[in-house]
Amino acid sequence: MAEKFKLNIISPERSFYEGDCEFLEFVSTEGELGVYAKHIPLTTILEPCVMKIHSDGEEKKAAILGGFVEILKDKVTVLAENAEWPGDIDVARAHAAKKRAEDRLLAKKEGVDMVRAEAALKRAIARINTVD
């Protein structure tokens, strides 16, 4: 059995998750990361992604829509811009948001905020992939 560490995921609205974790997977601005207990200390910026929480042979998925992660040897703290469990996600709405963002990016119209459109696309994809 893998050694555990404390995981806290906090969003502006609530304490989203608090518990023990054996392995944590997520995407940062530097790429995909996996964390076990006794990981080297690290602080990184989160990309909108599916965060996978592994504990006691189970995997929980959550859509994390940006934020920061602080990794210590025995504790990981996630400060999420927004966090959603699969059951909280309106899949039809996420697909519609993805389509709107893709349309804005493909149109390349003057006045369209491309960075904002790309961020909306990443959030929609994270939500969709959390449910799938």
Interval 78-130: pLDDT, tens:
999 999 999 999 999 999 999 999 998 888 777 778 888 899 999 999 999 99
On the 0-12 / 13-18 / 19+ scale of CB atoms within 10 A, 10 is: middle
Helix (H) or strand (E) holding 11, with range, is none
Question: What CATH number has the domain bearing residue 119?
Answer: 1.20.5.440
Instruction: State pLDDT tens for residues 61-83.
Output: 999 999 999 999 999 999 999 99
Residues 77 and 102 occupy one common structural domain: no
Q: Which domain holds residue 31?
A: 5-84
Q: What is the DSSP string of 55-103?
A: ETTEEEEEEEEEEEEEE-SSEEEEEES-EE-GGG--HHHHHHHHHHHHH
Predicted TM-score of the model (pTM):
0.90
Instruction: State pLDDT tens for residues 2-54.
Output: 799 999 999 999 999 999 999 999 999 999 999 999 999 999 999 999 999 99
Kind of pairing between the strands at 75-80 and 5-10 = parallel
CB atoms within 10 A of CB 88: 12
Question: Do the Cβ atoms of 3 and 49 come closer than 8 Å?
Answer: no
Residues 15 and 68 occupy one common structural domain: yes
Within a 13 Å sphere around the CA of 23, how many CA atoms are in the beta-carbon half? 10
Residues 24 and 72 occupy one common structural domain: yes
How many domains, in total, are found in the chain? 2
Residues 97 and 73 occupy one common structural domain: no
Residues 63 and 39 occupy one common structural domain: yes
